[in-house]
Amino acid sequence: MKMSFRFSGVMFWFGMAFLYLPMLSLIIYSFNESRLVTVWAGWSTKWYGELFHDKDLMMAVWRSLEVAFWSANTAVLLGIMASVALTRFGRFRGRSLLHSLVAAPLVMPDVIIGLSLLLLFVSMADVIGWPQQRGLLTIWIAHATFCTAYATVVISSRLKELDRSYLEAAMDLGATPLKAFIQVTLPIIMPALVSAWLLSFTLSLDDVVIASFVSGPGSTTLPIEVFSSVRLGVSPKINALATIIILIVSLFTLSVWWLSRRKLKRDSKTI
Amino acid sequence: MIEPSLSRDSADGHFLQIKSIVKTYDDVVAVNDVSLDIAKGDIFALLGASGSGKSTLLRMLAGFETPNSGQIILDGEDIVSLAPYRRPINMMFQSYALFPHMTVEQNIAYGLKQDRMPKNLIADKVVQMLRLVHMEKYAKRKPEQLSGGQRQRVALARSLAKSPKLLLLDEPMGALDKKLRNRMQLEVVDILESVGVTCVMVTHDQEEAMTMANRIAIMEEGRIVQAGTPRDIYEAPNSLQAAEFIGSMNLFHGTITVDAQDHAVIQTTEVATPMYVSYGVTTAIEDKQVVFAVRPEKTLISRDQPDSQYNWCHGVVHDIAYLGGHSVYHIRLDNGKIVYSFMINSDRFADLPTWEESVYVHWSDDSGLVLRP
Ligand SMILES: Nc1ncnc2c1ncn2[C@@H]1O[C@H](COP(=O)(O)OP(=O)(O)OP(=O)(O)O)[C@@H](O)[C@H]1O
Ligand SMILES: [Mg+2]
């Protein structure tokens, strides 16, 4: 009993170390004085200052956030529509085909998605003259495409298990189908919409492969920027940037956790 | 055009008319040529086994399913082509379908808001509905913070808030436990009667139908077997299906041997004694096969052989189910058939027949029923 307890404790801390030690060392090295990432030369915050003065990098951050934001919005919107078609309208011709088509990008290698989108954009530019050059717009389209697949999976699995009588009750009480969907169905599945949005946002923010196929001059996103600068030798600036991102993500997660805990407490108090 | 005379007409029995409704799903006939007349203020129960088409019929009334053919006339207006959100009908769902993201108050107000009712009128109506179902204290709660019975009250209030012409209840007690069920049955009926709303409910529980409804229709395989008051259906079932569905019955298969104006005699294959009924049975001459039926509570048990040459059988006590108020005796006849008989326990320590005792079961001439097999 005691033995197994100790063993599981060791495993737990080993796992935690495996997950968080790299991040910890990254955070520590972001405060490194030295220009060389691997050599410790005392504490300093100078890389943070340099980071904010690096216009290219800051532009890339902003661009990435912008693309991720709009891709997530588009993906959730298209995901809702696809999910409704998949779950609500009962059986229609080509339903299972649509199902597998929507899910295909999940299993497709990024390289293939990126390449095929690149070919599409190039031939479209040839045939209809649009898009004339690749840039943020094409990245947005590309990201929206594969994020929609993920969003649809998340949203449709929630919609599928949703009791049909909510929508019917709203209609029974006088709401048109569209109104009933907006006023009743959407609020009920809101948690799924939020997770679909966050998932899409993260995937878009994270993507290097697809973006490098469809990006053009002046549309370098953060991952591409980081990736290419790392090849020339890691600058501690990147560490500083990563630390800030980690900080934001943890704050966000923590506040979500705190909000949900507070809601739980408030609910149990009113009972 | 609706004449005033027509709406007065609807008050005596034609408030809701269902005319030859048929509904099929692919190759399943869910509702098969159903016609019903429901009067204003009725609480009408559709009673039937699982899969008999009750819910489908109810959903056609609500507008969620479209019948293949037939008419539904509510207060003189054919509503078949109306969308659910345009029908003056509200439904309480089996799962209640209370909107989880809205408070009790907002749930009740939802229907009124769809009608663009002024805010202060909505607030008044909500308070009135909350009072009706005794839920004033819970106005600000979310549905998940309510008990099953409380949720049901809110669902009822929500479906009554728009003062519908017709209220539909789908298995209203289905989500409650047995004890709460009995209490809520009476309470719901009280509320419905105080509002005076016409109501169609669906249930597969005969006791619930008989407690709550003043008219019952028995459905089987998409058809109405019989419609009438609970008493009619219990005392005068028009078919074997109706008789077997409500209460229990002792059945004897046989043929009619005497078919007079004022009485009939049936010779059964299972008991030597012929059965006698003190009313005429109009039978087709070529088809003499019938089922003689008698309810357990209309039979008596005695140790001595009855004087009459009709309406009794002999057997031994096979089993006794003591139920407090009454006992159910299982009498095994000489040929092995089991006949049920109720014995009222009016005397605390009466000398009643016990296991394996030889007894006679008998009944009066007007207790039996003659049914078509
Ligand atoms: N959407 C549907 N698609 C296909 N068949 C259906 C559908 N809805 C109902 N049916 C069929 O119609 C018949 C009647 O179903 P219905 O739901 O009306 O029964 P019910 O009397 O309400 O039974 P229960 O007491 O189990 O609810 C059943 O045979 C059922 O399989
Ligand atoms: Mg049903």
pLDDT of residue B1: 35
pLDDT of residue B2: 37
Cβ contact (<8 Å) for A171 and B84? yes
Q: Burial of A66 by CB count in 10 Å (0-12 exposed, 13-18 middle, 19+ buried)?
A: middle
From the CA atom positions of chain B, what is the Rg in Å?
25
- pTM (2 d.p.): 0.84
Give A136 Cα–ligand 1 centroid separation in angstroms.
53
Decide: B203 in ligand 1 pocket, CB within 6 A: no
Task: Answer whether residue B7 shows pLDDT above 70.
Answer: no
Cβ contact (<8 Å) for A172 and B141? no
Q: Burial of B185 by CB count in 10 Å (0-12 exposed, 13-18 middle, 19+ buried)?
A: buried
Cβ contact (<8 Å) for A187 and B90? no
Decide: B237 in ligand 1 pocket, CB within 6 A: no
More confident residue, A217 or B34: B34
Distance CA A124, CA A117 (A): 10
Residues in B whose CB is inside 8 Å of some CB of A read 62-64, 83-85, 89-91, 93-95, 97, 99-101, 110-111, 114-115, 140-142, 144-145, 158-159, 162
Distance CA A240, CA A50 (A): 9
Cβ contact (<8 Å) for B145 and A174? no
Cβ contact (<8 Å) for A165 and B93? yes
Q: Is A126 on the interface with B (CB under 8 A)?
A: no
pLDDT of residue B247: 84
Measuring CA to CA, which residue among B255, B247, B337 is closest to residue B295? B247
**Please, are residues B362 and B299 in contact by the beta-carbon 8 Å criterion?**
yes
pLDDT of residue A267: 66
pLDDT of residue A141: 94
Report chain B's mean pLDDT, rounded to a whole number.
Answer: 90
Nearest by CB: A163 against B95, B115, B140: B95
pLDDT digits (tens, 9 = 90+) for B243-275: 888 888 899 998 888 888 788 888 888 888 888
pLDDT tens series, chain A, 271 aa: 455 668 888 999 999 999 999 889 888 888 888 887 778 888 888 889 888 888 888 999 999 999 999 999 999 999 999 999 888 766 677 778 888 888 888 888 999 999 999 999 999 999 998 888 888 999 999 999 999 999 999 999 999 999 999 999 999 999 999 999 999 999 999 999 999 999 999 999 989 999 999 998 888 899 988 888 888 777 888 889 889 988 998 998 899 889 888 877 776 665 4
* Per-residue confidence band for B11, with pLDDT thresholds at 50, 70 and 90: very low
Angle value at C-alpha A198, between A195 and A201, nearest 5 degrees: 150
How many Cβ contacts (< 8 angstroms) between chains A and B?
65
DSSP assignments along A40-86, one per residue: ---B--HHHHHHHH-HHHHHHHHHHHHHHHHHHHHHHHHHHHHHHHH
Handedness of CA B306, B308, B309, B310 (dihedral sign): negative
Lowest mean pLDDT, pick from A6-15, A188-197, B11-20, B361-370: B11-20
Decide: B50 in ligand 1 pocket, CB within 6 A: yes
pLDDT of residue B345: 85
Tokens describing residue A142: 């590309």
pLDDT digits (tens, 9 = 90+) for B272-292: 888 888 877 766 566 778 889
Strand order in the sheet with B89-92: B89-92, B166-170, B198-203, B43-48, B215-220, B223-228
Kindly provide the ipTM of the predicted complex, given to two decimals. 0.83
**Please, are residues B353 and B300 in contact by the beta-carbon 8 Å criterion?**
no
Nearest CA to ligand 1 atom 25: B50
* Helix, strand, or coil (residue A109): coil
Count the Cβ atoms, other than its own, within 10 Å of residue B28: 11
pLDDT digits (tens, 9 = 90+) for B206-215: 999 999 999 9
* Per-residue confidence band for B144, with pLDDT thresholds at 50, 70 and 90: very high
Cβ contact (<8 Å) for A172 and B162? no
Contacts of A158 in chain B (CB under 8 A): none
Measuring CA to CA, which residue among B245, B262, B168, B239 is closest to residue B210? B245
Give B220 Cα–ligand 2 centroid separation in angstroms.
13
- Closest approach of A195 to chain B, Cα-based (Å): 18
